[in-house]
Amino acid sequence: MPRVKLQRFHDNATRPDIIEPGKPEYEQLGGRWRTDFFRAPHPLTLEVGCGKGEYTVGLAQRHPERNFLGLDIKGERIWRGSTRAAELGLTNVGFVRMRAEALAAQFGAGELAEIWITFPDPRPRDRDIKRRLTSPRFLALYEQLLAPGGLLHLKTDNEGLFEYTLETLAVRPGARVERFTRDLYAEAGPEFAEAQAIQTNFEGKYRAVGVPIKYVQFRLS
């Protein structure tokens, strides 16, 4: 393993804003993230599959009155998000290294106010449908962890995943799409301003070659 990567893994093990396997707090904070981790009773927003943390950090900058967590399985990615948050002096953001499938082990029922899913792997093969982050399997998990009426957001460049998500929501009892667009940056209304406010490097590359960004905001109950 390259020396730089080893150093970053060591950094993660010592950083209080990163929760990962091997730390005593891992799987011990469910239902207590706001009181024991953030020590602030603000609403908690989770980004599932946060990558380098650009979106999680951007949201934390925009909303100092809220708490934000980025979740990803790759330690080197969340090292970057943690580093950026420290450079900005943010205290309302943290990261947890784990797979999304294990969310129920980390969060209590109704603990989350909001969930963002930004540019996930579209999992285009039929045999991978259950691994899509907007599949019925994951929607059931999100519904368990969200407070009643909690919001979810999906941003994606992938048309197939976007249409699959809309179709899945259309047949799910209790699900309600608040707004959606197949070309986010062509929208001028204030209802899309929050989704337009943060642009990841990945997102910028797709926009630069003319790929429209899709967005949907929805609730599950």
Annotated binding-site members for substrate: 157, 200-203
The answer to whether residue 126 is catalytic is: no
**CA 56 – CA 67 distance, rounded (Å):** 10
* Active-site residue (options: 36, 121, 128, 183): 121
Map the chain to HEC letters: CCHHHHHHHHHHHHCCCEECCCCCCCCCCCCCHHHHHHCCCCCEEEEECCCCCHHHHHHHHHCCCCEEEEEECCHHHHHHHHHHHHHCCCCCEEEEECCHHHHHHCCCCCCEEEEEEECCCCCCCHHHHHHCCCCHHHHHHHHHHEEEEEEEEEEECCHHHHHHHHHHHHCCCCCEEEEEECCHHHCCCHHHHHHHHCCCHHHHHHHHCCCCCEEEEEECC
Residue 211 CB-half CA count within 13 A? 15
Binding residues: 47, 72, 121, 157, 200-203
Annotated binding residues for S-adenosyl-L-methionine, written as ranges, equal 47, 72, 121
Residues marked as catalytic: 121
